Structure 1
Amino acid sequence: MNRFLKILHLYLDGFFLGFCLIVLPAASFILKSAEAGALSDRQYGLSYLPMNISAVAVCLLFQKAHRKWGSRTLLVVSFLALGGYLACMLAAGRGHLNRDVFLWILSANLCLGVGFGYLLSVLNYETAVIDPAIQDSLLLGLHASLGMGAALSPLAVHFFYAQGDWSRTLLALLGVWLPLLALSFIFRPCSPRGDAQKERTCPSRSSGQDVLTAVSGVSSCSPEKSGTPLPAKAWFFLGTILIYGIAESITGNWSTIYLTRVKLFSPATASGCLSIFWVMLTLGRVLSSFLTLKFDPRWIYRLSPVFMTCAFFYLLGLQDESAAVPAYALIGGACSYFFPLSIGLAVTYFHEFKESLSGLGVAALMVGVSLGSSLTGFLQDIRWMTVTGTMQLAGIAAAVLILCAFGISLAKIPVKGAASCSI
């Protein structure tokens, strides 16, 4: 396969995955309405639990699965799972025909977790090995395409909702899914399966480039010593990522409900806010990847939760609907680089644990996402928390991150970066 066409194929897959990920949050205010499913807060929150569990499991098993089956097989499995997700969501979207909306959404998110975990892992791997010399740029483009898909998803849901049937979004996605599934069957990996086991000789990099390598999610080619426990400070990084996951998941999963139910803003405004959040999340990550090459990444890292906290509490006191979109732009920009830099700095400080930290970092994020989506939904349903209280929790989590970010980044970044490379 021509290199340009292969990159285009991978980017289209990333765009499609990003689009799929945000369909449910974008349609949450519809599915919670009496005529479309009447999901309770507990049901809506719990619906994310199968996705979080399956995504964590798949990410942790990816290396073993990739060695056994290779990229093409996992790509096919990913798209079959995403097809199951779209079919189940379509059944939920036509909930007036059966009343089993909650069960369909649970099934959909189970499929989404499997598809997300395998597809994103394969995309990261295949993009990185196309050309190791420019892997950072290629991976940056991949995650930008995923972010743009996430940004357009709420707009598409609102467009079809205004036309009278939001589930047409899913029909359109199924129309795109079919050719992408067909392409996955003829996909030619850059290298045969099993190459993940081989070590490579890698060029030395500066600490700034090392942070970027970790941001891309590419693992080290230097093996870890088996059985060696992670240092205590590395666990503090993982705890910080977990707290961040709570704040991000509340923003991504509860914002539409908060803006339409509590603030009484229009669905169009809520969709626009969610879109701008994902746009700024993408653009902020692109900008920060260049800033870390020019400035000490620790200071960029410390500023992120400060901006997050200010944005969340500004949003809580907001009454002007026209100011909601700028508020979400600030939240998205502030959130954009905190998780990548958490992984990047942890890997820079504890380079010999690079592969473990990359996997555990994703797992910690997904646990935080689960707490921010599933647990908060349950607490709302038993009336221990309100939707407003959920958004306040995001602001509190961001404030705690200020202390965490300063505390765990006090040590100087090692001057000499260790060797690193693509998988």
Structure 2
Amino acid sequence: MTDAAGGGPGARRGAPLVFGAGLAQGLVLVCFPAAASVLTSPAGYALSATQYGFMFAPQVVLAIAGAALTPVLARRWSLRGVLGLGLAANLAAMLLMVASLGVAPSALAYVLLLAATGCLGVGFGTCVSSLSQFAAALKAGAENRNVLVLNVMLGLGTALAPVLVALLLPDWWILPLLVSAGLVVLLVATARVRLDPGAPAPAAGAAAPRPRLPRRFWWYVAAVVLYGVCETLFGNWSTLYLSGERQLPTAVASAALAAFWACVTLGRVIVAILPARIPVPAVYVVLPFLIAGASLAVASASTSVAAVLAYAAAGLACSAMLPLSVSFGEREFARWGSTSSGELIAGYQVGYGIAAFGAAPLLAATGLPLGAVYVVGAIAALALAVTALTISRGRALRAAPFLTTGTKES
């Protein structure tokens, strides 16, 4: 059997596996936020806002650990083994989620949900790290395009999850069961299909000590942390905000969440195909201001149409912020290799954690309504604008103002 790189038979077999796993990862990732109305309903799991937010703590911690351990596990098992671990962890997350329904509402159900989000963290950290490498190695000369397709499939999964939950209600548990079946197929395919992770780094380079990351790098870290806060306020709290505080139908809340994730994906594609005459760093500086405006629009949305449009605008505004931060960081700190991108993904997870389980204690301490977190999100977006402006003034970006991924070099 030939390798999956280079466009041979292995590539034809490997591409459906890689992109299918990306779609599955997106579905798993948003299953929990998409089911927020069930998780917090007295007729469902009866979780408080604080319990709901804290439910994501294991996910954040283990996602960071999973991403950090991927290189270590790949050397010990192979990168395909890491992907198999991630898929198995995602499968466990879905099965635990379904199992929790049988004992809800109870303390045991909450324990099962915590275990499920912990498994999701392991799955996300290991799958995303390994899939990115496999996608880039599918075909020589098409690395950027294949990574873009992988991100589109991830985005498609995140957009589909809330729509499917809304369509399946009250039998929402069918979705994690269907995803579980898909994950079993992917696990079998992972054991049978040969995947090529690309050429390993030279041994001499791996043994050489890396220089210490400069102080300027922490502007990038600040950017991804702030972005993680903004994105998670939209992605994790939308259903509770719209169906609980705004009293809009659950279907509308699901549509708004789906619109957010769909527009995140659409925006990334748009930025990736921007004409070469448009300087991408300029787009990077504008996006935080758009995020701030979208946050205020969400905070004031009181009708179904306004809510869906506000979240769609938020998705477009958020879309390219994280990929551009990572791409710019990899360009400016190329000699640090994967260290820089790994640190940035970890920073994003920190921001995710702050918003996922920090919003409820903030509201409890201040007595503010849930909509107020989007005003906080607007403030975070303005702080993000400052970091983006500082990053865009770097010499490395001024010298080469166009991305190599998706846009033409000038």
- TM-score calculated relative to the size of structure 1: 0.87
What SS does the aligned partner of 2:293 have?
A: helix
Deviates more, 1:285-294 or 1:388-397: 285-294
Mapped to 2, the partners of 1:80 and 1:362 lie a distance apart of 22
User: Equivalent residue for 2:119?
Assistant: 111
Alignment of 1:350-389 (within 5 A): 350-381=333-364, 386-389=369-372
Mapped to 2, the partners of 1:94 and 1:18 lie a distance apart of 25
Q: 2:35 aligns with which of 27, 34, 59?
A: 27
Question: Does 1:270 find its partner at 2:260?
Answer: no
Deviations 1:189-209 (A, max 9, x none): 2259xx53437xxxxxxxxxx
| Aligned CA distance change for structure 1 residues 191 and 10 (closer, same or farther; 3 Å) | closer
Alignment of 1:66-145 (within 5 A): 66-96=74-104, 99-145=107-153
Alignment of 1:40-59 (within 5 A): 40-59=48-67
- What letter is aligned with 2:115? S
Mapped to 2, the partners of 1:88 and 1:99 lie a distance apart of 14
Contact 2:219 2:390 in 1 (8 A): no
Deviations 1:343-389 (A, max 9, x none): 22223233222422100000000000000101223334556554222
Question: Does 1:286 find its partner at 2:269?
Answer: yes
1:95 positional shift: 3.8
Contact 1:67 1:196 in 2 (8 A): no
Aligned alpha-carbon RMSD (Å): 2.3
- What letter is aligned with 1:186? R
Mapped to 1, the partners of 2:206 and 2:77 lie a distance apart of 22
> Which one has more relative contact order, counting CA pairs under 8 Å at least 6 apart?
1
Mapped to 1, the partners of 2:47 and 2:208 lie a distance apart of 48
User: Equivalent residue for 1:65?
Assistant: 73
1:260 positional shift: 0.7
User: Equivalent residue for 2:390?
Assistant: 407
Q: 1:248 aligns with which of 221, 227, 231?
A: 231
1:50 positional shift: 0.6
Q: 1:11 aligns with which of 10, 19, 26?
A: 19
- What letter is aligned with 2:202? K
Q: Structure 1: 5+ residue runs without aligned partners?
A: 200-220
1:74 positional shift: 1.6
Question: Does 1:231 find its partner at 2:214?
Answer: yes
Contact 2:14 2:195 in 1 (8 A): no
Mapped to 2, the partners of 1:383 and 1:224 lie a distance apart of 51
What SS does the aligned partner of 2:137 have?
A: helix
- What letter is aligned with 1:196? P
Contact 2:53 2:356 in 1 (8 A): yes
Mapped to 2, the partners of 1:310 and 1:225 lie a distance apart of 46
User: Equivalent residue for 2:155?
Assistant: 147
Mapped to 2, the partners of 1:280 and 1:14 lie a distance apart of 17
Q: 1:190 aligns with which of 191, 196, 199?
A: 196
User: Equivalent residue for 1:299?
Assistant: 282
Contact 1:59 1:359 in 2 (8 A): yes
Mapped to 2, the partners of 1:225 and 1:350 lie a distance apart of 16
Contact 2:211 2:336 in 1 (8 A): no
Mapped to 2, the partners of 1:135 and 1:294 lie a distance apart of 23
Deviations 1:207-238 (A, max 9, x none): xxxxxxxxxxxxxx976962522111111111
Mapped to 1, the partners of 2:379 and 2:275 lie a distance apart of 27
User: Equivalent residue for 2:302?
Assistant: 319
1:18 positional shift: 0.3
Contact 1:14 1:145 in 2 (8 A): yes
1:153 positional shift: 0.4
- What letter is aligned with 1:11? F
Contact 1:158 1:166 in 2 (8 A): yes
| Aligned CA distance change for structure 1 residues 39 and 106 (closer, same or farther; 3 Å) | same
Mapped to 2, the partners of 1:78 and 1:178 lie a distance apart of 12
- TM-score calculated relative to the size of structure 2: 0.90
1:79 positional shift: 1.9
Question: Does 1:176 find its partner at 2:182?
Answer: yes
Mapped to 2, the partners of 1:266 and 1:224 lie a distance apart of 57
Deviations 1:228-249 (A, max 9, x none): 2211111111111111111111
Deviates more, 1:81-90 or 1:314-323: 314-323
Mapped to 1, the partners of 2:392 and 2:105 lie a distance apart of 54
- What letter is aligned with 1:276? A
1:24 positional shift: 0.4
